[in-house]
C-alpha cells in the first residue's frame, strides 16, 4: 500500500509512505544510516542487504530517551562531516521514534538541510513518529522542546521488523492507532474490535488506515495551527501521568491509553459520550493489555500540572474529546471544577 503525502500549503513537499515488504533501495549519493545497538543487532544486516549507495556509513547512537538531546545530534553531525557527506547525501532513520526524531532533526540541520528516509522498526514509530515531520530533541525543560518541522523524502513501513519488538512496546504503539480510530473513524474502530493483529495482512491494513488518517490531518495542518491538535487526544492527561511517575512506570503509549480513558470520562460528563462507548474503548485497550486505571492521589496537583504542558497557553486548557466514537471535539471552555470532578473519579477505587 502506498499513501501519498502532499501538504496543502506547500507544493514542494510530496512523498510516499509505503507499507509493504522493504524494497531494494539504490542511491546515487552517499548515505548514512542512523540506528542504535538494539535495532542494529537484530536488523542491520537485513537493511544493508537492501541498500546500494555511492558510499554507505552506519552511525550508531546509544538506545534510550535519555540520549535524545542536542549533544547526541552534534555527535551525529560531526560523524557525518567526518564522512564528508554533501548536500545531496541522504540519512536513513532506522529505529523507533527517538531515532526517527533525532535523524530527521539532524538531516534538517546538516548544511541547512539534506534528505532523509524513515524506516521505522517499532509500531509506535510506524503509525505515529514516521508521519508528520515533527523532529527534535528533549532538554532540561521538557520533551521535544527543541526541533524543526522537517519532512522525509520517503517512509518505508515493513511489519517484519516488529517481530523482535517486545509485546509491551507493540501494545503501546496500538494505543496511538486506537486513538486515531476513536477520533476520526468509527468503522475503523469497529474493525479493530474484531481484528486479529497477529495476522500480517490485518496488521498492515490497520497500520495503513491509521497512517492514512494521520496523513490527512498533517496534510491540512503541518505546523499544528488547528486540526493537528486533535492528535493530542489523551495526551494532555498522559503528560501529567508521565510527569507524576517520572517517565518510569509507563511507556508513552500506555500513559496515552489511560489518558484516553480519562478524556472519555470528561466527554461523558459533558454529554459527549455514552457509558457504553466508554466501555467499548476500555475493552479494546484491555484486549491489548493496555492500562486503563490510574490513581490520582492529589486532584488539585494533577490539575495544576496541565499548565506545564507547552500546548497550554495563558489560563485556558484545550481538551480534545471524543464526540461519540469516530468524531472529536476541541474544548477550551471547561471549568476547572468539572475536570476535577472527573479526576476525583480516578482518586482511589476505580
The residues that touch its own copies, with contacts defined as CB under 8 A, are: 9-12, 70, 74, 77-78, 81-82, 86-88, 108-113, 134, 136, 139-142, 144-149, 223, 310, 313
Sign of CA dihedral 126, 131, 133, 136: negative
User: Which stretch of DSSP H or E encloses residue 329?
Assistant: strand 328-331
3-state secondary structure of 307: helix
Query: Is 228 an annotated catalytic residue?
Result: yes
Q: Which of 24, 112, 198, 335 is catalytic?
A: 112
- Minimal distance, residue 29 CB to its own copies, in Å: 10
- Minimal distance, residue 13 CB to its own copies, in Å: 10
Query: Is 112 an annotated catalytic residue?
Result: yes
Q: Which of 182, 193, 188, 230 shows the shortest CA–CA distance to 209?
A: 188
Of the chain, the end-to-end C-alpha distance in Å amounts to: 42
Look-up of cell digits 484491555: 286
- Minimal distance, residue 221 CB to its own copies, in Å: 12
289: phi > 0 → left, psi -120 to 50 → alpha, else beta; which?
left
- Minimal distance, residue 343 CB to its own copies, in Å: 25
The 10 Å Cβ neighbour count of residue 195 is 16
Rounded CA gap, 279 and 268, in Å?
11
Q: Which of 228, 311, 318, 331 is catalytic?
A: 228
- Strand 30-35 versus strand 90-95 pairing type: parallel
Query: Is 134 an annotated catalytic residue?
Result: yes
- Minimal distance, residue 66 CB to its own copies, in Å: 17
Q: Which of 43, 239, 268, 288 is catalytic?
A: 239
Q: Which of 243, 274, 275 shows the shortest CA–CA distance to 259?
A: 243
Grid cell, residue 305, equals 500540572
Query: Is 224 an annotated catalytic residue?
Result: yes
Query: Is 186 an annotated catalytic residue?
Result: no
Q: Which of 30, 68, 134, 265 is catalytic?
A: 134
User: CB burial class (10 A; 0-12, 13-18, 19+) of residue 333?
Assistant: exposed
Q: Which of 224, 244, 282, 329 is catalytic?
A: 224
Query: Is 239 an annotated catalytic residue?
Result: yes
Complex with its own copies: residue 23 or 113, whichever CB lies closer: 113
Active site residues: 112, 134, 176, 214, 224, 228, 232, 235, 239, 252
Amino acid at each position: 500500500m502506498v499513501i501519498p503525502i502532499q501538504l496543502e500549503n506547500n507544493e514542494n513537499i510530496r512523498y510516499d509512505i509505503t507499507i509493504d515488504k522493504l524494497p531494494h533501495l539504490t542511491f546515487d549519493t552517499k548515505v548514512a544510516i542512523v540506528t542504535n545497538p538494539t535495532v542494529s543487532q537484530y536488523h542491520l544486516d537485513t537493511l544493508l542487504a537492501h541498500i546500494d549507495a555511492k558510499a554507505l556509513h552506519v552511525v550508531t547512537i546509544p538506545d534510550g530517551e535519555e540520549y535524545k538531546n542536542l549533544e547526541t545530534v552534534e555527535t551525529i553531525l560531526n560523524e557525518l562531516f567526518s564522512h564528508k557527506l554533501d548536500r545531496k547525501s541522504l540519512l536513513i532513520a532506522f529505529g523507533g521514534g527517538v531515532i526517527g526524531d533525532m535523524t530527521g532533526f539532524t538531516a534538517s540541520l546538516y548544511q541547512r538541510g539534506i534528505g532523509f528516509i524513515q524506516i521505522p522498526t517499532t509500531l509506535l514509530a510506524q503509525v505515529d513518529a514516521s508521519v508528520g515531520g515533527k523532529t527534535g530533541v528533549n532538554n532540561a525543560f521538557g520533551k521535544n522542546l527543541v526541533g524543526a518541522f522537517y519532512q522525509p523524502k520517503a517512509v518505508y513501513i515493513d511489519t517484519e521488523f516488529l517481530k523482535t519488538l517486545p509485546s509491551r512496546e507493540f501494545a503501546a504503539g496500538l494505543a496511538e492507532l486506537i486513538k486515531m480510530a476513536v477520533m476520526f473513524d468509527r468503522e475503523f474502530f469497529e474493525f479493530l474490535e474484531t481484528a486479529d493483529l497477529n495476522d500480517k495482512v490485518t496488521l498492515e491494513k490497520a497500520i495503513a488506515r491509521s497512517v492514512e488518517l494521520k496523513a490527512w490531518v498533517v496534510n491540512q495542518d503541518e505546523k499544528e495551527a488547528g486540526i493537528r491538535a486533535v492528535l493530542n487526544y489523551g495526551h494532555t492527561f498522559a503528560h501529567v501521568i508521565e510527569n507524576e511517575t517520572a517517565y518510569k512506570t509507563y511507556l508513552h503509549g500506555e500513559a496515552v491509553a489511560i489518558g484516553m480513558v480519562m478524556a472519555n470520562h470528561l466527554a461523558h460528563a459533558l454529554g459527549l459520550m455514552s457509558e457504553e462507548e466508554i466501555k467499548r474503548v476500555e475493552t479494546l485497550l484491555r484486549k491489548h493489555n493496555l492500562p486503563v486505571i490510574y490513581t490520582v492521589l492529589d486532584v488539585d496537583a494533577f490539575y495544576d500540572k496541565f499548565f506545564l504542558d507547552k500546548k497550554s497557553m495563558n489560563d485556558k486548557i484545550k481538551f480534545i474529546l471524543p464526540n461519540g466514537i469516530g468524531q472529536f471535539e476541541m474544548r477550551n471552555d471547561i471549568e476547572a471544577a468539572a475536570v476535577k470532578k472527573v479526576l476525583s473519579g480516578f482518586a482511589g477505587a476505580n
